[in-house]
Structure 1
Amino acid sequence: MVTHTQSARAGQQERDGESSGIAERSRPGTLQRLGGFLERSWRPFALLAALFVAWWAVTAAELVEPYLVPSPADTFDAIAQRPEYFWEHTWTTSYETLLGFAIAIAIGVISAVLMVQSSTLEKTLYPLLLFAQVIPKIAIAPLFVVWLGFGLGPKILVAVLMAFFPVVISMVTGLKSVDPEMLQLSSTMGAKPGQTFWKIRFPASLPHLFSGLKVAATMAVTGAVVGEFVGADAGLGFVILQANGNLDTPVLFAGLLIMSLLGVLLFVLVEWLEQLLLPWHASRRDEGATTTM
């Protein structure tokens, strides 16, 4: 009798789902996720391949002088001839970028939490943050060299300043985007402020935070290289400046390509962490319920 009742309820729920036009989908497996990734990624890869072919065609037809735009073969040959040189400078920039990115995350998240908790603090700090963001970092980077010397400090500081603003703004937006009814419900049920923050506010802010982290990741790479432009004896910024002074465009293009690849890898890492830590958000965005017609 119990089995018959459960079967009837299951059939009724299935009929209700069909009548509403919503079909629930099970969580995709590894192969399905890989297929989805390839489906989303083939277009940008195809565009990059087309740009590479166009680059090769322009240089092969000698439409521009080689000292202005080197061929892809010359660019990759420059890397192949000096792999240790490029690896050493890439590691320096990567270290500066990751450390600056981590510091920006810590300071940005803490600042956002404090501003959300105190409207007075938000009204005080927000205009200053906006003012600091508008100032070109390349203009104040020489001051950091004067204050901190020619070590890693100025480069890391510029990376922090470049990545800090997207983190704090996205975190503030996420903390403020919580459904007020959820906050009222938690208050009615006797939840303490700390419990409300960790159980409701903070999880709800994570999708916004990761959106800001993706922007901040690329900005951190730019900040580290900008810091190296001012005064450095190592790093991709140093490689680009040295190649520019020597009119060595293959090395210059190689440095730019490696710098771009570094930013893309850091972006992909943040996106992977988002899918790992927020599977509920990724599934709702990519594999949500579908409407049957």
Structure 2
Amino acid sequence: MTTLQDVATSTAGGAAGARRGRLGGAPPWLGGLVGTVAVIALWWILALTWLRDGGAVPTPDDVLVKLVTDFDRYIPSIKSTLWIAIKGFLIGNGLAIGLAILTFGIPVVDRIVLQIGVASYCLPIIAIGPILTTVFDGSTPQVALAGISVFFTTLIGTLVGLRGADQAALDVIRASGGGRIRQLRYVRLRAALPSTFAALQIAAPAAVLGAIIGEYLGADRGLGVAMVAAQQNLNVAGTWALAFISSAAAGIGYGLIALIGRLLTPWAPRTNVGGGS
């Protein structure tokens, strides 16, 4: 009969094997570094050759100069977008995780919640953005779009984690007289943490994107508004600098959630999104 000790030993062995595999090869960050350098080199070559006449693609050094000289002017826009993205991230993910936990194990309600999640994923943000802007005032439309952008991913990640709990541990709880609540509290919630954090990693850049799209569709400040203004003024380097800031914000959010997940789930095996373990 499988015991919790056997399960723990098997899990520890698998994690140790994964660590040995990583140590035996190249560092996990090397691929990302090489890819980044290659993209910048290709960008530089294209900007100086084939795309030079159009003027739509500045060189990386032009973007860097613009970023440094105008960064103080971008700070209010950065703060506005980040605040909207954070609020949408917290609200959307809070609803997703809460609904997943509350409805798990209730088949009828579980299916309804899943259908709501699919509907939110299929909603065309470009289409509903103007409607939200017409109905609501202030930053509510942008926060709503950021929340919608993250809801489905986190809902699915949490449900997958809850359903993937170790059966042996569930049997132990059941044999000791525990019901669904105790299984959820002592086994399923812990089992759901790795996949939930994986979903939150994806949700962080999605929240930034949703906030910026909302600003594009109607706002008085933010990175989206600043990019529209730069485009209208034919400020090519400024547009690219703002795009770089937006990408950096999304990447920092992704990395921050990954770090928090690593600290809170040290037992979970690590899998790179772009490749192997």
- Check whether TM > 0.5: yes
After superposition, where does 1:21-170 map in structure 2 within 5 Å?
39-61=27-49, 63-65=51-53, 67-149=55-137, 151-170=138-157
Name the structure 2 match of 1:172.
159
| Aligned counterparts of 1:203 and 1:60: Cα–Cα separation in 2 | 53
Deviation, 1:163, is 0.6
Paired residues for 1:159-238 under 5 Å:
159-238=146-225
Q: Deviations over 1:166-186 (max 9, x none)?
A: 011111111111233432321
Go from structure 1 to structure 2 and tell me whether the alpha carbon gap of 1:122 and 1:24 turns closer, same or farther (over 3 Å shift). closer
Displacement after TM superposition at 1:193 (Å): 3.5
User: Is the partner of 1:279 in helix, strand or coil?
Assistant: coil
Q: Distance in 2 between matches of 1:51 and 1:133?
A: 30
| One-letter amino acid matched to 1:183 | L
Residues 168-217 of structure 1: per-residue CA shift (max 9 Å, x gap): 11111111112334323211112244332121010001111111111111
Shift of the alpha carbon at 1:140? 0.2
Q: Which of these residues, 235, 257, 261, is aligned with residue 270 of structure 1?
A: 257
Question: Which amino acid in 2 is paired with 1:243?
Answer: A
Shift of 1:153: 1.1
Larger radius of gyration: 1
TM-score, normalising length: structure 1: 0.80
Residue 257 of structure 1, aligned match among 244, 265, 274: 244
Q: Greater CA deviation, 108-117 or 260-269? A: 108-117
TM-score, with normalisation over the residues of structure 2? 0.85
CA distances 1:24-69 after superposition (whole Å, capped 9, x unpaired)? 969x9xxx9xx89x81112111111121122222223464336311
Which consecutive residues of structure 2, in runs of 5 or more, have no partner in the other structure? Answer: 1-12, 273-277
- The Cα of 1:241 is off from its aligned counterpart by 1.2
Q: Is the 8 A contact 1:67 1:247 kept in 2?
A: no
The answer to whether the 8 A contact 1:115-1:172 is kept is no
Deviates more, 1:99-108 or 1:62-71: 62-71
Q: What is the alpha-carbon distance in structure 2 between the residues aligned to residue 61 and residue 256 of structure 1?
A: 22
Q: Are the counterparts in 1 of residues 166 and 191 from structure 2 also a CA contact under 8 Å?
A: no
Pairwise CA RMSD: 2.7
AA of the residue aligned to 2:70:
R
**Distance in structure 1 (CA, Å) of the matches to 2:70 and 2:51:** 28
Q: Which residue pairs with 2:234 in the alignment?
A: 247
Letter matched to residue 140 of structure 1 = I
Percent identity between matched residues is 24
Counting matched residue pairs gives 259
CA distance in 2, matches of 1:24, 1:217: 26
Contact 1:142 1:230 in 2 (8 A): yes
Aligned AA (1:214)? Q
